[in-house]
A and B are shown apart, each in its own frame.
Chain A
Amino acid sequence: MAEGRRRVLVIEDDPETAEQLVETLSTNGYHVDLAVNGNEGVSRARAAEYAVMTIDRMLPGIDGIAVIRRLRESGVVTPALIVSALGEVDDRVRGLRAGGDDYLVKPFAFAELLARVEALARRSATVVKETVLRVGDLTLDLVSRTVSRGGRDIDLLPREFQVLEYLVRNEGHVVPRAMLLQHVWDLHFDPTTNIIDVYVGRVRRKIDSQQAYPLIHTVRGVGFCVRAPS
């Protein structure tokens, strides 16, 4: 099981994209298997236990959607991240309906791919029920919905609390904008404005201003990351 936690299957037919994916995931501590077409993907996914699989939407032979459908029908529940160059609105729905767990549109930032793979991998691990989250000197009480830093209470709007909670739960990992929008606002599209940055900027002002060190970091072109200095 421990080994399966870090094992990822990449189903991708374009050699260069496949190489980039394998490299990104490998350098981040994953053991990566590559399948270059749908049939190979199906047999590999059935043969071994993976934490996550990434599936290209357009594959020679059977396409990504069909791969997921076949795997789900044969009882393989490995979380699947669909990677597609097709338009988002309809295709996303189709992919998720077929049994995909998340959806990423090409071209994408590798940090975002990594963030999504990690989120899916964590989801397949056991979820611990916590009532208090801590990062550095920041404390979130999930029951009373209060936040304090260095012993001083900070006032947050309910939605700001949700944003912070999501970032803190993913401590040390990059949270892409779209994932934040999806989990906090239940919206499934890439915003065409920089509104999330402005919103997180305000949360950051409340959390980080006049503190010894910043906790919320912006990852350029991707999203945000909560991290305490080690």
Chain B
Amino acid sequence: MICIGIFGAAVVVLFSYVYWSTASYVRGRSDDAIVAELAILRQAYDRPGRYGLIATIGQRIADERFERGLYLLTDASLAPVAGNLMVWPSVLKDSGGWGDFNVPESNSDAPHRPLLRAAFETLPDGYRLLVGRNISDLDDFAAKIELAIALSVLLTFILGGVASVFVTRRTVGRIEAINTTSRAIMQSGLGQRIPRRGTRDEWDQLADNLNLMLDRIEGLMGEVKEVTDNVAHDLRTPLARMRGRLEKAYASQRDAEHDQTLIGDTMADLDSVLRMFTSLTRISQIEANDRTAAFRPVNLSKLAREVVELFDAAAEEKGGHLNVVADQPVLVTGDRDLLFDAVANLVDNAIKHGRESGYVAVEVTRDSGGGVFSVADDGPGIPANECQQVFKRFYRLERSRRTPGNGLGLSLVAAVARLHGARIDMADNAPGLRFKLVFPVLTAGLDNDVAPEACSDSGD
């Protein structure tokens, strides 16, 4: 409503201005013509003189081009001497100036007496000279403009009204469509989407964005459901095992040695369940919180050597070899604990899923400024179509179902990589798998103040 009011006022002001400027322009032109005519007659009076003036007036009256002109020359007692006006208009009492008046009765028989505008002056010899024009036409013109403007204003309001109703209807319609979809989603689930009109306007863009948001939410919900299902499954299995074991023991005779084993096995099973919880909460904590503020420079080479030293024994147990090439200090910014965990998981995977008595190679390099950690095995690798799947929580390759693990290791690696802005590359090592963590280029300036850690590893 306020908008319509402001719009209406603006339209009225605009048209008033157009009217006023047009009218004053037309009137100005008319006055200019009178002034010019008066000047010409004054010239004729100045030379050759009064008779020249009378002659010029006569010519003007006879000339059709001056049809609209009015002329009157009187003597000092206002008795007409020449001109087409019969009497001096009684309203003009001064010795000179401007005046508007109707045609005197004696000048016209018509019932309608046109409006005149005239300039007059007193000549040096006491005669008076008047030059005027019929401005009834001007009034007609002004009246026509007035009418046109009034009609325009009316038309503007009608069109504006129609347009605003149309636009409002359209807007309300789009909003209503979004509302309807939102309500439907709240009532029956995330399956619905906001319809597009195909006009590619802001409304379509809004609909697109809302739909993308819904897609994302639906995806996340799906993930949550999958994780919940998997947690339920992976929890039920050891829990069922524990329950069965306890139930059997409860029903049978007490036997100290047997009980000892049973309790030990049950505790081990419980520990694996707790480890799974630790992994899950760690992943969700990494994903939920921004801990980049606590990031410190970490020497990736030193970290890799430490991890390899830890896992060396594990590789030995499997009859394999674990080798590391990480001589140059390669610095990345990050959380050492999390990076250690991620790198340990990758090395653990390579040993576990690589070839029996196989060869695992760990390498830390610098690739165009950013640190790169890579671990390669010569095992069976990962089928290309499952490369993305392995990052999902609880995902396990079919052939790995029997090896110990909970399918959370790579999810954790992915979460840690994302937190550090690192890219994960998986490539065929022919045979085997090459797994790479490619870290972003270190921010300038950090290189200098991390010397302590870089230097202190000489003893390791």
**Residues in A lying within 8 Å of B, measured CB to CB:** 87-90, 93, 105, 107, 109, 157-159, 185-196, 198-199, 201-202, 220-221
For window 266-291 of B, CB contacts with A under 8 Å fall at: 267-268, 270-271, 274-275, 278-279, 281-282, 285-286, 289, 291
CB <8 Å contact, B274 and A107: yes
B64 at the interface (CB under 8 A from A): no
Residues of chain A with a CB closer than 8 A to B281's CB:
87-88
Residues of chain B with a CB closer than 8 A to A198's CB:
311, 313-314, 317
Number of B interface residues in the complex (CB < 8 A): 39
CB <8 Å contact, A193 and B317: no
CB <8 Å contact, A193 and B313: no
Residues of chain B with a CB closer than 8 A to A221's CB:
264, 267-268, 270-271
Residues of chain B with a CB closer than 8 A to A186's CB:
336
Per-position contact with A for B316-358: 1 when CB-CB < 8 Å, else 0?
1100000000000000000011101100110010000000000
Q: Which residue of A lies closest to B267 (CB)?
A: A221
B294 at the interface (CB under 8 A from A): yes
Residues of chain A with a CB closer than 8 A to B297's CB:
none
CB <8 Å contact, B313 and A201: yes
Known: A88-B278, A105-B278, A189-B282. 8 other contacts (CB 8 A): A88-B281, A187-B340, A189-B337, A192-B282, A193-B344, A195-B311, A198-B314, A221-B268
Q: What are some 10 contacts across the A-B interface (CB < 8 A)?
A: A88-B278, A89-B291, A90-B285, A109-B267, A159-B460, A185-B306, A185-B340, A192-B275, A202-B313, A221-B267
Residues of chain B with a CB closer than 8 A to A158's CB:
459-460
- A188→B289 CA distance, assembly (Å): 18
- A194→B294 CA distance, assembly (Å): 28
A92 → chain B, closest Cβ, in Å?
10
- Chain A contact surface mostly: loop
B381 at the interface (CB under 8 A from A): no
**Residues in B lying within 8 Å of A, measured CB to CB:** 264, 267-268, 270-271, 274-275, 278-279, 281-282, 285-286, 289, 291, 294, 306, 309-314, 316-317, 336-338, 340-341, 344-345, 348, 404, 408-409, 412, 459-460
CB <8 Å contact, A220 and B264: yes
Residues of chain A with a CB closer than 8 A to B312's CB:
202
B417 → chain A, closest Cβ, in Å?
16
A88-B278, A88-B281 are contacts. A191–B267 as well, Cβ < 8 Å?
no
Residues of chain A with a CB closer than 8 A to B309's CB:
157, 159
- A195→B308 CA distance, assembly (Å): 11
CB <8 Å contact, B268 and A90: no
B220 → chain A, closest Cβ, in Å?
20
CB <8 Å contact, B306 and A195: no
Per a CB cutoff under 8 Å, which of A89, A109, A187 touches B282? A89
CB <8 Å contact, A195 and B344: yes
- A52→B285 CA distance, assembly (Å): 30
A191-B344, A192-B279 are contacts. A199–B313 as well, Cβ < 8 Å?
yes
Residues of chain B with a CB closer than 8 A to A93's CB:
294
Most A CB within 10 A of own CB, among B282, B409, B412: B282
CB <8 Å contact, A192 and B285: no
CB <8 Å contact, A90 and B344: no
Per a CB cutoff under 8 Å, which of A87, A159, A220 touches B285? A87
Per a CB cutoff under 8 Å, which of B278, B289, B313 touches A192? B278
CB <8 Å contact, B286 and A192: no
- A158→B305 CA distance, assembly (Å): 13
Residues of chain A with a CB closer than 8 A to B306's CB:
159, 185
B458 → chain A, closest Cβ, in Å?
12
- A109→B268 CA distance, assembly (Å): 11
Q: Which residue of A lies closest to B352 (CB)?
A: A193
CB <8 Å contact, B314 and A192: no
CB <8 Å contact, A190 and B278: yes
Per a CB cutoff under 8 Å, which of B291, B313, B341 touches A90? B291
Residues of chain A with a CB closer than 8 A to B345's CB:
192-193
A88-B281, A185-B306, A202-B316 are contacts. A220–B268 as well, Cβ < 8 Å?
yes
Q: Which residue of A lies closest to B289 (CB)?
A: A90
Residues of chain A with a CB closer than 8 A to B278's CB:
88, 105, 190, 192
- A109→B263 CA distance, assembly (Å): 13
Residues of chain B with a CB closer than 8 A to A107's CB:
274
Residues of chain B with a CB closer than 8 A to A220's CB:
264, 267-268
- A158→B341 CA distance, assembly (Å): 22
Residues of chain B with a CB closer than 8 A to A188's CB:
337
Residues of chain A with a CB closer than 8 A to B264's CB:
220-221
B457 → chain A, closest Cβ, in Å?
11
Residues of chain A with a CB closer than 8 A to B460's CB:
158-159
CB <8 Å contact, B337 and A199: no
Closest 9 CB pairs of A and B: A202-B313, A198-B314, A87-B281, A221-B267, A198-B313, A193-B348, A89-B285, A221-B271, A189-B337
CB <8 Å contact, B274 and A192: no
CB <8 Å contact, B341 and A189: yes
Per a CB cutoff under 8 Å, which of A157, A189, A195 touches B314? A195
A51 → chain B, closest Cβ, in Å?
28
Q: Which residue of A lies closest to B294 (CB)?
A: A93
Residues of chain A with a CB closer than 8 A to B310's CB:
185, 195-196, 199
- A26→B15 CA distance, assembly (Å): 98
CB <8 Å contact, A192 and B341: yes
Residues of chain A with a CB closer than 8 A to B270's CB:
221
- A221→B404 CA distance, assembly (Å): 16
- A221→B345 CA distance, assembly (Å): 20
